[in-house]
Amino acid sequence: MLNWIWLGLVLTSVAYGAWSGRMTDVSSAALSEASTAIQLVIKLTGGMVLFLGLVRVAADGGLLRVIVRGLRPILRRLFPDVPEDHPAMGAMLMNFAANMLGMGNAATPFGVKAMAELDRLNPHRGSATNAMALFLAINTSSIVLMAPTGTVVLREATGSAAPMAIWIPTLFATICSTLVAVTTCLLLSRLPRFAPNPPADPGPPLDLGAEEPEVPDLDAAPPPLGPAQWLLIGGFAAATLGGFGWQLWNHLESGTSDAFLKEVGNFWLLPILIAGFLLVGVAGRVRVYDVVVDAGREGLQIALRIAPYLVAILVAIGMFRASGALDLIVAGLSPLTGALGVPGEALPMAILRPLSGSGAFGVMAEILETHGPDSFVGQVTSTLQGSTETTFYVLAVYLGAAGVRDSRHILPACLAGDLAGFVGAVFICHLWFA
């Protein structure tokens, strides 16, 4: 699908540019956007290295285990057909917890294992069970507690005055997408139209072999805090809260408390998040510097991986915009989108987000470069990027890995979540950035 979309953008750009007389602009955009993409990758690399290292410190320090314990009673209610001591439950817990921390690379192996274990409980092999459908609905709607790393770093690279400002709106949008996806999935599972229809030859069960990830002991007690750790954590908390109280008192006296609270939401969260992750590592007796350095190497690999995608997408979108074709489409849709409060420039992002994560990231980069990261369309696009996952990619990987051919109601439920994420992103951006 992305292949045809990309090819269509380039060919339409050239053909429309010939009619509009903008071939000079189209030619310039092709080269300038390729250069811009590489410059963005260079700017992104430092932030990716830092954030991936910090997340690994917090995970190794015990934050992953805390999230797992919080999710366990919720999953018991959502998945009554899965025994609590079954391996599928542990794999799902690890998958959800890793996703909530933004550790997508660590979450995928556990997701595949969860699908394999759920398939062993499947009375109709080859057809998705209700538990599989609900598991995938939650995965594609993707509640992420942490700030979306790639988006925040890209916003900073494109000159945002407040890169972290989209953290709370993104959390709101992804909660909307998850609630709608889960509710739709549960309701559709009761309809006769979506009853299991297993294929005649479902194929052999999935065998992960040596690639099967090991689920750690989720009930292991964390190491006790020593006096030095208590002193460091307590001293930092007291000093930071004291500084917050002092600044708040000064702003109350000057009558600017509202501006200060907005400043806290936009600028205080990142330094506190960095310090908090490091202190979680200290509490878990993690060698924080060594782990940040070791885990940060993954950021270099990610930057190298996204470079070709970013070049391809930015060149295609840049040519499309330079030809005048994008302006024509936006102008035609503006009466409808404007009435709904939706910026027409964000529609390409909304359409591409379920299809391709790298493609959507490239479109977001082009929008932030063109309109600015702190413009309203830039805020909406940034929020939309983190509101859902790449639906078709997730379904292809997980259903394919488990050999499921009859997906039943999974796709409608996931697309309903995507739509809810988009609506939630637009709504909260109007409210938050008004």
CA distance 401 to 111: 10
Portion of the chain with pLDDT greater than 70, in percent? 92
Does 189 map to a domain? yes
Q: What is the mean pLDDT of residues 193-215?
A: 66
**Residue pLDDT, tens place only, 286-313:** 888 888 888 777 777 767 777 787 788 7
Q: Identify the pLDDT of residue 205.
A: 56
Q: Identify the pLDDT of residue 417.
A: 93
CA distance 419 to 388: 9
CB 427 within 8 Å of CB 170: no
Does 428 map to a domain? yes
- DSSP 8-state code for residue 127: B
With bands split at pLDDT 50, 70 and 90, how would you rate the model's confidence at 206? low
Does 389 map to a domain? yes
Does 426 map to a domain? yes
Number of domain units in the chain: 1
In the predicted structure, residue 210 carries a pLDDT above the cut 50: no
**Residue pLDDT, tens place only, 91-118:** 888 888 878 877 666 677 788 888 888 9
pTM, entire model: 0.75
Q: What residue numbers bound the domain in which 114 lies?
A: 32-198+297-432
**Residue pLDDT, tens place only, 34-91:** 888 888 778 777 777 887 788 788 878 888 788 888 888 888 899 998 988 888 888 8
Does 6 map to a domain? no
Does 220 map to a domain? no
Does 337 map to a domain? yes
Which residue from 143, 152, 145 is spatially nearest to 50, judged by alpha carbons?
152
Q: Identify the pLDDT of residue 59.
A: 79
Q: Could you tell me how far CA 381 lies from the centroid of its own chain?
A: 13
Top pLDDT among 331 and 416 is at 416
**Please, which contacts does 260-269 make with residues 24 or more away whose CB atoms are closer than 8 Å?**
265/165, 265/168, 266/162, 266/164, 266/165, 267/162, 267/164, 268/244, 269/147, 269/164, 269/167
Does 413 map to a domain? yes
In the predicted structure, residue 138 carries a pLDDT above the cut 80: yes
